[in-house]
Structure 1
């Protein structure tokens, strides 16, 4: 078994690695950004995907990865883990249905509520201890899910018609268009930015370049919030107008 993940601030990476450790010492987790990911997938019969939902759907970068490598998913058994700050409905199911189009067999899903990564929206924030509790509950849920998967009874969260309706009417109907294309909404406060280049190194899309100590963008943001949550000067925003709290998984462990 191999776990494949995409992660912005570390939530999905953390649960992917934990799932591996719980399942088998020989199991490994790989980011879709790893150079050898396609070779790894070719040699495996069972795959576990872990990713953060955005508006009850799949981030553009992950969707593109699935489509561009569509020949890899034929006959693979797939289990999907969806991480979320609030609600997703069918987070596991929507990625599962995409993989199903390319011949995969979706055997189950798991939904994990985690600390929210949207650093510039106050309404989504929780106290530190509450976020730590969420992580602990997610760890316990992963342990139970792994045992069920091993026994041939994988959890089915996010799979099925009722979950799909919840995801569609809960978020996708109103906000799903926001992930159909890459975003050009990333903003940089030039009075705060010092041109250190950290955001350029972190960006999974190569969307950011530092030119003459200023940020230059390609308008290819996949809304992962890595740059916003790691900027030492809190100079970057996307959905909100100012950084409320920088959230990375290490903060809650």
Structure 2
């Protein structure tokens, strides 16, 4: 069994690690950016995808990844985990439908509410205590999902007509344009940026570079929020104007 994830601040990676740690301790886990990921997919019949939902849609980078490797999915048995900060509807179902188009057999889906990674929108922020509680609930939900899997009844969250309708009317009808393509809306405050290049090294799209000792954004941002959450000077924003809070999954794990 192989685990594949696309994660901005670690939510989806962590969910996959916990899930496969309980389901199959021999399973390997890799990010979609891994240079050898196509070979790993070829070698495995059973796959588990994990990713964060964006406005009830899959990240553009993930969609392109699936499309680019469309010949690899035929005959694969796939379970999908979708993490989200608020509501998704058919967050897992969107990827399931795309994979089915390329011949995959969908085993099931799981939705997990996790700490929101959008650090530049105050309305979406929760206290550390509430985010830690979200993670604990997600861990319990994963435990129940694994038990169902082992009993031959995998959860089917996000899959089916009613989930599809909920996702469409809940968010995609209004926000689809935000995730249909890559965005050029990433902003860097030149007065704050110190040119440390941390963001450059973490960007999965290679959309950031250093020019004249300062970070510069291109037009292919996939909205993963990695750079915004690690910038030491809080110089990068996307949806909001100021960074309210920075955080990765490690911040919300109880020691």
Structures share fold, TM-score greater than 0.5: yes
Kindly report structure 1 stretches of 4+ aligned residues shifted beyond 2 Å: none
What is the TM-score of this pair, normalised by structure 1? 0.99
- The residue number in structure 2 matching 1:120 is 120
1:14-45 superposed Cα distances (whole Å, 9 cap, x missing partner): 01111111112101211001111111111111
1:151-162 to 2 correspondences below 5 Å? 151-162=151-162
Shift of 1:177: 1.4
Residues 1:97 and 2:91 are matched in the alignment: no
> How big is the alpha-carbon RMSD for the aligned residues of Structure 1 and Structure 2?
0.7
Residues 1:87 and 2:63 are matched in the alignment: no
SS in 1 for 2:164: helix
- The residue number in structure 2 matching 1:197 is 197
- The residue number in structure 2 matching 1:56 is 56
Extract unaligned runs of 5+ from structure 2.
Answer: none
1:154-209 superposed Cα distances (whole Å, 9 cap, x missing partner): 00110111100000000000001111110000001111000000000000000000
Partners of 2:188 and 2:216 within 8 A in 1? no
Extract unaligned runs of 5+ from structure 1.
Answer: none
SS in 1 for 2:157: coil
- The worse-fitting range, judged by mean Cα deviation, of 107-116 and 211-220 is 211-220
SS in 1 for 2:191: coil
Partners of 2:188 and 2:217 within 8 A in 1? no
1:115-172 superposed Cα distances (whole Å, 9 cap, x missing partner): 0000000011111100000001101111111121122100011011110000000000
SS in 2 for 1:215: strand
Task: Give the distance between the partners of 1:142 and 1:213, measured in 2 at CA.
Answer: 44
Partners of 2:187 and 2:217 within 8 A in 1? no
- The worse-fitting range, judged by mean Cα deviation, of 118-127 and 209-218 is 209-218
- The residue number in structure 1 matching 2:217 is 217
Shift of 1:217: 2.3
Partners of 1:17 and 1:28 within 8 A in 2? no
SS in 1 for 2:173: helix
